[in-house]
Chain A
Amino acid sequence: MSVRRVRFTFPEELIKEPLIYQLGHEFKVVTNVRMADVDEHTGWVVLELEGDAEEIERSIQWAQSKGVRIDPVVGDVVEG
């Protein structure tokens, strides 16, 4: 089992979608919301995803395919 900490950023058209709920149903991944800020135009959620490493990766790919931007919780790691 592994744990990944990620930040989901939702574009305006996805604000009303229950994507985190759907992710938990589609994949064997436990979602734990740790921080969030959502308004009518944009939203971000910091999540801990717990599960098999490959299953977590698949869930991330799925969320990305839905239009969610996914970043490391610490911000960009690659620097100039």
Chain B
Amino acid sequence: MSYARNLRCRECHREYPLAAIHVCEFCFGPLEVVYDYDAIRKVVSRERIEKGPASLWRYRDFLPCDAEQAIDIGAGFTPLIHAKNLGKVLGLPKLYLKNDTVNPTWSFKDRVVAVAATRARELGYEKLACASTGNLANSVSAHAAAAGMEAIVFIPHDLEANKQLGSSIYNPTLVKVRGNYDAVNRLCAELAGSHNWAFVNVNVRPYYSEGSKTLGFEVAEQLGWRAPDHCVVPIASGSLFVKIRKGFDELYKTGLIEEPKTRMSGAQAAGCSPVATAWKEGSMNFRPQRPNTIAKSLAIGNPADGYYSLVQLRDTNGACGCVTDEEIIQGMKLLAETEGIFAETAGGVTIASLKQLVEQGKIHPEETTVAFITGAGFKTVEPLAEALNPALEIDATMESFEEAYSALKPREAIA
């Protein structure tokens, strides 16, 4: 069973039944799931959660669907690593990394899609759909396959071959849409409104976005049932950024942790930075942008939760990093070379922003800080082609090896 009670508009607070709807009919505000926290408090405990499965479903009491019927390919409960090496480089002795690259389809999207797919099937849908440039398409295709549902996945026509492959292997209906970014966006919004499909980030978005809370739950549990002092989170639609904090707040509401005082900081690429730009200008009104960055998984020019991200930055005394493509690549390399984690470009945005915020004095050395690494590096290898050291190619002789090895320059100090 689920303790979800209804949907509520974030703007005007009108309430709606738990259906496949996502905007308020009156003010077009986004709808959010509301729970019966009194009922949750009566059943939930740290021990109950700790005895649960090693997946996001250990937090079943806080999710808007019946976990007994979960579409479960093993999403969630990923490692939280004390990043001593990177922390030493950045001067943050209490730095942790939440490594979500190890999810079943190698990104945090498995969390949101697991919840959306489960709820979609509960609502009677047989078809799961999305429009994506990569991670979301992979995850929807995989979850639909495991659930025996049909997947319809829309991608831009010029998407790189290896990104298509990550969806194609699960045999969805893959639709390549010709047109520029705006045109693809508008078409997909229209399709979502005209077909009786569960479009994961449109008509079932209120349930989908709840999956991101589990990152907050896990971090608090893995830190010994306490919220961190500071989080650095990549911002695309902004939903992940907002929901991680909601996760801490729900644990507090139900008596599982002390009151969280977590500062929430964002990370965006300069080539798609509607939130970072508004934040820098001191505005709560972001202007949509046309994305132009190597961090394609963050390339959302008109973020659905952009306004709420700005509110959260303000209310938690956060800050927002904004980094160039070159800094993103350096961030990916720094993470790999210090902690052995190969993140996609979004991870480069997070690490480069973390570094930037430390240099700006926005993150204090004594803070317990968690940076969220949301997707694996093999998804975005193209930008790295020119940035990495070449291999040594030698003849099969000792002499050849010694010659090549001794000619190597000593490794440059990191950072």
Q: List residues of B whose CB falls within 8 A of some A CB.
A: 22-23, 27-28, 30, 130-136, 154, 156, 181-182, 184-186, 188-190, 192, 199, 201-202, 205, 236-237, 285, 287-288, 296-306, 346
Chain A nearest CB: distance from B130 CB in Å?
7
Count of chain A residues with a beta carbon within 8 Å of a chain B beta carbon: 24
Question: Chain B residues near A76 (CB, 8 Å)?
Answer: 185, 237, 300-304
- A9-B288, A79-B136, A80-B134 given. 20 additional CB < 8 A pairs? A35-B28, A69-B288, A70-B186, A71-B186, A71-B288, A74-B22, A75-B305, A76-B303, A77-B185, A77-B188, A78-B300, A79-B130, A79-B131, A79-B132, A79-B133, A79-B201, A80-B132, A80-B133, A80-B136, A80-B300
Contact B188 A80 (CB under 8 A): no
| CB closest chain-B residue, reference A39 | B285
A4, A6, A9, A35: the one within 8 Å of B287 (CB): A9
4 smallest CB-CB distances across A and B, nearest first, come from: A80-B297, A75-B304, A72-B189, A78-B131
Whether B188 and A74, one on each chain, are in contact in the complex, defined by CB atoms closer than 8 angstroms, is no
Give, as a whole number of angstroms, the nearest-CB distance from B314 to chain A: 17
- The A interface is mostly helix, strand or loop, or mixed, namely strand
Residues in A whose Cβ lies below 8 Å from that of B133: 78-80
> For residue A60, which residues in chain B have a CB less than 8 angstroms away from its CB?
186
Q: Is the CB of B237 within 8 A of A79?
A: yes
In angstroms, how far is the closest chain A Cβ from the Cβ of B240? Answer: 11
Interchain CB contact under 8 A, A42 and B300 = no
Q: A34–B296 Cα gap in the complex (Å)?
A: 32
Q: Is the CB of A46 within 8 A of B28?
A: yes
Contacts of B299 in A (CB 8 A): 80
Give the residues in chain B near A74, CB-CB below 8 Å. Answer: 22-23, 30, 189, 202, 205, 304
A77, B237: Cα distance in complex, Å: 9
Interchain CA distance A34-B287 in the complex, whole Å: 19
Could you show 30 A-B contacts with beta carbons less than 8 Å apart? A4-B190, A7-B302, A9-B288, A35-B27, A37-B285, A69-B182, A69-B288, A72-B186, A73-B28, A75-B237, A75-B302, A76-B300, A76-B304, A77-B131, A77-B189, A78-B131, A78-B132, A78-B154, A78-B184, A78-B185, A79-B132, A79-B133, A79-B201, A79-B236, A79-B237, A80-B134, A80-B136, A80-B236, A80-B299, A80-B300
Name A60's closest neighbour in chain B (CB-CB): B186
Task: Evaluate contact between A5 and B28: CB separation under 8 angstroms.
Answer: yes
Q: Decide if A78 touches B181 in the complex (CB within 8 Å).
A: yes
In the complex, the answer to whether A72 meets B185 with C-beta atoms within 8 Å is yes
Across the interface, name the chain A residue whose C-beta is closest to B380: A80
CB neighbors of B among A44-70 (8 A): 44, 46, 60, 69-70
